[in-house]
């Protein structure tokens, strides 16, 4: 079938659905929501069999849905309506929630229901529920609806008599530090992550929006008082404990989301730094950016980087953790990232915020490469990347520096640097990619701009295995697989070969050359007279809406498109 996506942004859910449908033989073209007239034009040009809106905030013009069957993904249960569905579900503390595929109609979210799924609700960030439970449910709904649509004899059920929940205002999200418990504060910040954040006007010197909170069980203070900082996050006391807040944004136009201490640098002097090293054993709940964990012969490294973005300093801290693990008596080192994202490469927000973005880009890519090199130069242990969540750009190639790369089912990869101003890329991709795919196929992967499912990545040999429906299922299977291998007779032979390769002067020379050559190109991207990287980064970081749909997304807008 020919399917047209209408979306506000080509976000993670849209990308996942794109993969699922195209890999089943459908053709999918994407039109971003720029202007209703362009939406109507897209439908006229493309003449789709079906329109799907995975992530859309504006009303679809009736010219569209009167002509072509149009289905909208709503991140809520049947009967629920409105633009802040998940926010309200988290605030109300729903035990179960869901996702519903609704036919477009004149009235928002009131059309007939084509498919729906429900799931138990976790106490977690909105964006995490969206990227995991909602996304899995939405995929099932869409595949079911496509089948129903193709059968030609399905009649959808009318939307339930439901509730309209308006756009959630900041007044609902506001924290009352004198009253709210840790759980209340977490709920409010969870319900507002990744957008719009919780507006805080009282406890800091500036008005800020808060993002990404974690409970703290040890530190105490007067409610609303900032009591500590760690890894650029700040800890604020509540009525019954405290919370960590890792990210903030100044409440002003053109501000961007940053590590809390970069928004409030004065706090680094006025409150104590309470460090915890990744390898320390900690018995109470707190915020830990990087955690090293050992289970028998296997060392796991979790890195909980917000949005999978890795600043220079985070790369350095992660490298320190890898170095620690290399000196432990383990047979394997497993990089796990976090559940929503494995890694999205260097942190474009902290780069944008720096006094000199070119210099900071240079520091950040070198820190990424130092980390990658630390992994590559592990001669006597198996290294494994366990991608529980999505990865993009340098994050994919970070994973490829490991001997073995596994991903959860449903993970979406963007193994290229195209979408951020056509960067050449580094992270030793000129070593790892041809080694896995050969130069021809490797080049093809780098030239492609569209996302790739983990399943497809496995089929083409980019990664070594795909399993597990949920992050925890993935980790369980992963553990078993690694255990089996490190205790097998082949393991000794594998390590012998690895040591002889990774300690040989020829190999060392090879990766040195790869790094140097990649960085030569990157230097041009950062300092050369083609500024497309700086422009693309600026648009990305400031979340500036597209003013047209790029032809790589919109088949119907390509010169070659014949209809």
State the number of binding residues for ligand THG (CB under 6 A).
Answer: 16
15 CA to centre of own chain: 12
Please give the helix or strand (H or E) that residue 268 lies within, else none: helix 267-270
Nearer to ligand COA, 403 or 427 (CB): 427
Cβ distance 348 to 537 under 8 Å? yes
Candidates 40-48, 51-59, 144-152, 339-347: pick the segment binding ligand THG (CB under 6 A). Answer: 51-59
Distance CA 492, CA 159 (A): 61
Cβ distance 467 to 409 under 8 Å? yes
Query: Measured from the CB of residue 6, what is the shortest distance to ligand THG in angstroms?
Result: 8
Residue 239 binding target from ligand THG, ligand COA, none, CB below 5 to 8 Å by type: none
Nearer to ligand THG, 99 or 334 (CB): 99
Count the residues in the chain: 563
Start-to-end CA distance of the chain, whole Å, equals: 14
Please give the helix or strand (H or E) that residue 258 lies within, else none: strand 258-259
Distance CA 405, CA 433 (A): 12
| Residue 121 DSSP SS3 | coil
Cβ distance 404 to 382 under 8 Å? yes
Two tokens at 71? 């289905």
Residue 512 binding target from ligand COA, ligand THG, none, CB below 5 to 8 Å by type: none
Residue 170 binding target from ligand COA, ligand THG, none, CB below 5 to 8 Å by type: none
Cβ distance 413 to 451 under 8 Å? yes
Query: Measured from the CB of residue 84, what is the shortest distance to ligand COA in angstroms?
Result: 8
Residue 105 binding target from ligand THG, ligand COA, none, CB below 5 to 8 Å by type: ligand THG
Mask of contacts with ligand THG, 66-85, x by CB under 6 A?
Answer: ------x---------xx--
Of 42, 60, 99, 292, the one binding ligand THG (CB under 6 A) is 60
Candidates 49-57, 191-199, 278-286, 302-310: pick the segment binding ligand THG (CB under 6 A). Answer: 49-57
Nearer to ligand THG, 83 or 551 (CB): 83
Tell me the sheet residues that pair with 96. Answer: 120
Query: Measured from the CB of residue 247, what is the shortest distance to ligand COA in angstroms?
Result: 8
Distance CA 517, CA 509 (A): 12
* Residue list 283-322, contact with ligand THG (CB under 6 A): none
Query: Measured from the CB of residue 511, what is the shortest distance to ligand THG in angstroms?
Result: 49
| Residue 319 DSSP SS3 | helix
Residue 108 binding target from ligand COA, ligand THG, none, CB below 5 to 8 Å by type: ligand THG
Nearer to ligand COA, 6 or 321 (CB): 6
Distance CA 116, CA 99 (A): 6
Candidates 58-66, 243-251, 257-265, 379-387: pick the segment binding ligand THG (CB under 6 A). Answer: 58-66
Residue 104 binding target from ligand THG, ligand COA, none, CB below 5 to 8 Å by type: ligand THG
Nearer to ligand COA, 390 or 404 (CB): 390
Query: Measured from the CB of residue 214, what is the shortest distance to ligand COA in angstroms?
Result: 16
Is residue 368 at the binding interface for ligand THG, with CB under 6 A as the rule?
no
Count of CB atoms situated within 10 Å of the CB of 32: 24
Nearer to ligand THG, 169 or 294 (CB): 169
By CB neighbour count within 10 A (0-12 exposed, 13-18 middle, 19+ buried), where does 562 fall? exposed
Query: Measured from the CB of residue 11, what is the shortest distance to ligand COA in angstroms?
Result: 3
Query: Measured from the CB of residue 130, what is the shortest distance to ligand COA in angstroms?
Result: 4
Nearer to ligand THG, 83 or 296 (CB): 83
Query: Measured from the CB of residue 33, what is the shortest distance to ligand THG in angstroms?
Result: 9
Residues whose CB falls within 8 Å of the CB of residue 221, separated by 6 or more in sequence, listed in order? 227, 237, 242
Query: Measured from the CB of residue 142, what is the shortest distance to ligand COA in angstroms?
Result: 14
Nearer to ligand COA, 507 or 540 (CB): 540
Give one DSSP letter per residue of 359-372, joined into a string.
HHHHHHHHHHHHHH
Residue 145 binding target from ligand THG, ligand COA, none, CB below 5 to 8 Å by type: none
Of 280, 520, 533, residue with least CA distance to 422:
533
Q: What are phi and psi of 56, to 5 degrees?
A: -145, 140
Q: What is the DSSP letter of 327?
A: T
Please give the helix or strand (H or E) that residue 343 lies within, else none: strand 341-343
Dihedral angle computed from the Cα positions of residues 563, 31, 146 and 126, in that order, rounded to the nearest 10 degrees: 170
Query: Measured from the CB of residue 373, what is the shortest distance to ligand THG in angstroms?
Result: 45
Is residue 108 at the binding interface for ligand THG, with CB under 6 A as the rule?
yes
Is residue 422 at the binding interface for ligand THG, with CB under 6 A as the rule?
no
Instruction: Tell me the C-alpha to C-alpha distance, in Å, between residue 184 and each of 91, 160, 238, 240.
Output: 9, 31, 9, 10
Residue with tokens 């809406």: 545
Nearer to ligand THG, 80 or 427 (CB): 80
Nearer to ligand THG, 98 or 308 (CB): 98
Residue 344 binding target from ligand THG, ligand COA, none, CB below 5 to 8 Å by type: ligand COA
Q: What are phi and psi of 81, to 5 degrees?
A: -140, 150
Candidates 107-115, 140-148, 193-201, 406-414: pick the segment binding ligand THG (CB under 6 A). Answer: 107-115
Nearer to ligand THG, 116 or 177 (CB): 116
By CB neighbour count within 10 A (0-12 exposed, 13-18 middle, 19+ buried), where does 65 fall? buried
Nearer to ligand COA, 403 or 518 (CB): 518
Residues whose CB falls within 8 Å of the CB of residue 246, separated by 6 or more in sequence, listed in order? 211, 212, 213, 214, 231, 232, 233, 259, 260, 287, 289, 306
Rule CB under 6 A: which residues touch ligand COA? 9, 11-13, 55, 57, 74-75, 83, 85-86, 127, 130-131, 194-195, 257, 307, 309, 344-345, 347-349
Two tokens at 297? 């012969």
Nearer to ligand COA, 344 or 401 (CB): 344
The site for ligand THG (CB under 6 A) is made up of 53, 56-60, 65, 72, 82-83, 104-105, 108-109, 111, 167
């Amino acid at each position: 079938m020919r399917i047209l996506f209408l979306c506000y942004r080509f976000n993670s859910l849209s990308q996942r659905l794109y993969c699922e449908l195209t890999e089943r033989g459908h053709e999918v073209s994407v039109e971003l929501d720029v202007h209703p007239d362009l939406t109507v034009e897209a439908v006229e040009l493309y003449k789709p069999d079906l329109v799907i809106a995975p992530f859309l905030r504006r009303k679809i013009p009736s010219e569209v849905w009167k002509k072509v069957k149009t289905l909208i993904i709503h991140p809520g249960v049947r009967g629920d309506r409105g633009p802040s569905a998940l926010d309200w579900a988290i605030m109300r503390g729903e035990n179960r929630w869901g996702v519903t595929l609704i036919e477009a109609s004149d009235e928002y979210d009131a059309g007939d229901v084509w498919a729906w799924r429900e799931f138990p609700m976790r106490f977690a960030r909105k964006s995490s529920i969206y990227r995991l439970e909602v996304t899995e449910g939405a995929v099932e709904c869409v595949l079911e609806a496509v089948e129903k649509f193709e059968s030609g004899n399905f009649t959808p059920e009318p939307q339930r008599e439901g509730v309209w929940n308006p756009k959630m205002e900041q007044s609902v999200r506001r924290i009352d530090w004198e009253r709210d418990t840790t759980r209340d504060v977490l709920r409010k910040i969870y319900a507002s992550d990744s957008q719009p954040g919780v507006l805080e006007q009282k406890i800091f010197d500036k008005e800020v929006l808060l993002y990404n909170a974690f409970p703290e069980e040890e530190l105490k203070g007067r409610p609303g008082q900032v009591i500590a900082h760690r890894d650029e996050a700040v800890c604020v006391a509540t009525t019954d404990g405290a919370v960590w807040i890792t990210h903030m944004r100044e409440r002003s136009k053109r501000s961007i989301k940053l590590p809390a201490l970069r928004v409030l640098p004065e706090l680094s002097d006025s409150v104590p730094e309470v460090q915890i090293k990744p390898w320390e054993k900690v018995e109470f709940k707190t915020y830990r950016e990087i955690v090293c964990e050992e289970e028998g012969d296997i060392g796991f490294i979790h890195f909980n980087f917000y949005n999978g973005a890795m600043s220079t300093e985070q790369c350095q801290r992660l490298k320190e953790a890898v170095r620690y693990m290399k000196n432990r008596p383990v047979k394997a080192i497993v990089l796990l990232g976090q559940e929503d994202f494995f890694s999205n490469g260097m942190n474009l927000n902290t780069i944008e915020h720096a006094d000199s973005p070119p210099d900071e880009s240079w520091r950040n890519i070198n820190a990424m490469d130092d980390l990658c090199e630390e992994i590559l130069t592990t001669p006597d242990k198996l290294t494994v990347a366990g991608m529980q969540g999505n990865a993009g750009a340098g994050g994919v190639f970070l994973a490829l520096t490991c001997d073995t790369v596994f991903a959860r089912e449903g993970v979406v990869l963007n193994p290229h640097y195209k979408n951020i101003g056509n960067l050449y890329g580094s992270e030793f991709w000129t070593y790892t990619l041809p080694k896995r795919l050969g130069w021809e196929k490797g080049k093809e992967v780098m030239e492609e701009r569209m996302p790739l499912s983990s399943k497809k990545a496995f089929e083409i040999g980019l990664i070594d295995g795909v399993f597990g429906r949920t992050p925890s299922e993935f980790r369980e299977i992963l553990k078993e697989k690694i255990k089996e291998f490190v205790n097998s007779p082949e393991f000794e032979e594998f390590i012998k070969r690895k040591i002889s390769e990774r300690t040989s002067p020829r190999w060392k020379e090879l990766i040195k050359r790869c790094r140097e050559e990649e960085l030569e190109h990157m230097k041009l991207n950062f300092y050369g007279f083609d500024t497309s990287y700086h422009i693309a980064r600026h648009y990305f970081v400031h979340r500036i809406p597209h003013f047209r749909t790029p032809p790589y997304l919109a088949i119907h807008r390509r010169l070659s498109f014949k209809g």
